[in-house]
Amino acid sequence: MFAGVLGYPVAHSRSPAMMNAAFAELGLRWRYLKLPVPPERFAETARALPGSRYRGANVTIPHKIAASAIADELTDAAEAIGAANTLVFENGRILADNTDAGGLLDALGEPVPSTALVLGAGGAGRAAAWALREAGARVAVWNRTAERAAALASELVIRHVRDPEPSELVVNATSVGLAGAEQPEDAARALGLAGVEAPTVLVELVYGSGPTPLSRWASARRARVVDGLEILVRQGARSLELWTGRPAPLEVMRKAVIAP
């Protein structure tokens, strides 16, 4: 069988290494491939995959909204978030799920803090805000472009804030820190966190080859940091479990995702 990641571009995806290591560990003769597909070819390609022995696919930028639109069936997460990162092909039907939401909660662990501030109102912010609200946290959202935070908050029936406020949990769902070059204080300032009491826990969705600027800012203030790579592993683990029905070998996936 096959699985793969549909995106544009997908050249730098770490998912093939992570998933192929997991399939090998489970003794499955499956292959996970990069599937670079431009937006205008997404729907026809996704619909053709089951005919080529694909059991499912991950979906990344820029196709997550289109993936939820082509599905025959959506999980609650995919429906509420309006975007999917996982497709399962079953009996001629396409099921779409959003494992970014559950993956974040798996990486965060229990107990879920009672107050959460989500920074960012793009796709990742949306999934994070929905997941944390479902898990019982009081969620507020902040975004550089305030109108987007207001729109997301009204859709999810959560609060939006013009300026970040102290919160037990902060989620960085922006691309601040992606280049990795900023100083910790500069990253905090870009996100309106300078002068705000640090959280107990930072969920850092951004990941790279080492600690991000914001994770260094939070660690220096004794916050626990939930790493973006762990979230990548956990969302992938949920996808793999949907396709194979087998428990994901997390340790093998963690090692594969950081291998050069």
Chain residues binding ligand NAP by CB under 6 A are 100, 120-125, 143-145, 148, 173-176, 178, 190-191, 205-207, 228, 231-232, 235
**105/232 with CB nearer ligand NAP:** 232
**Contact (Cβ atoms closer than 8 angstroms) between residue 217 and residue 185:** yes
Helices (H) and strands (E) in the chain, counts: 11, 12
Residue closer to ligand NAP (CB basis): 235 or 239: 235
**Closer of 154 and 175 to ligand NAP (Cβ):** 175
The residues near 231 (Cβ < 8 Å, ≥ 6 apart) are: 100, 103, 104, 107, 203, 205, 207
Out of 14, 63, 64, 234, pick the active-site residue: 64
User: Minimum distance between the CB of residue 126 and ligand NAP, rounded to whole angstroms?
Assistant: 7
- Nearest by Cα to 165 from 126, 130, 138: 138
Minimum CB–partner distance for residue 138 and ligand NAP (Å): 20
Query: What six digits make up the tokens of 39?
Result: 């937006």
The minimum distance between CB 129 and ligand NAP, in angstroms, equals 11
- Smallest distance from ligand NAP to CB 87, Å: 16
Q: Which pair of structure tokens corresponds to residue 156?
A: 């999810």
| Smaller CB separation from ligand NAP, 4 or 228 | 228
For tokens 């990548």, name the residue: 232
64 is catalytic: yes
Structure tokens at 188: 């905090």
Query: 204 with 212: CB under 8 angstroms?
Result: yes
The C-alpha atoms of residue 26 and residue 233 are separated, in whole angstroms, by 16
Residue closest to ligand NAP when measured from CB atoms: 122
Q: How far is the CB of 145 from ligand NAP (least distance, A)?
A: 3
Nearer to ligand NAP, 26 or 178 (CB): 178
As annotated, the active-site residues are 64
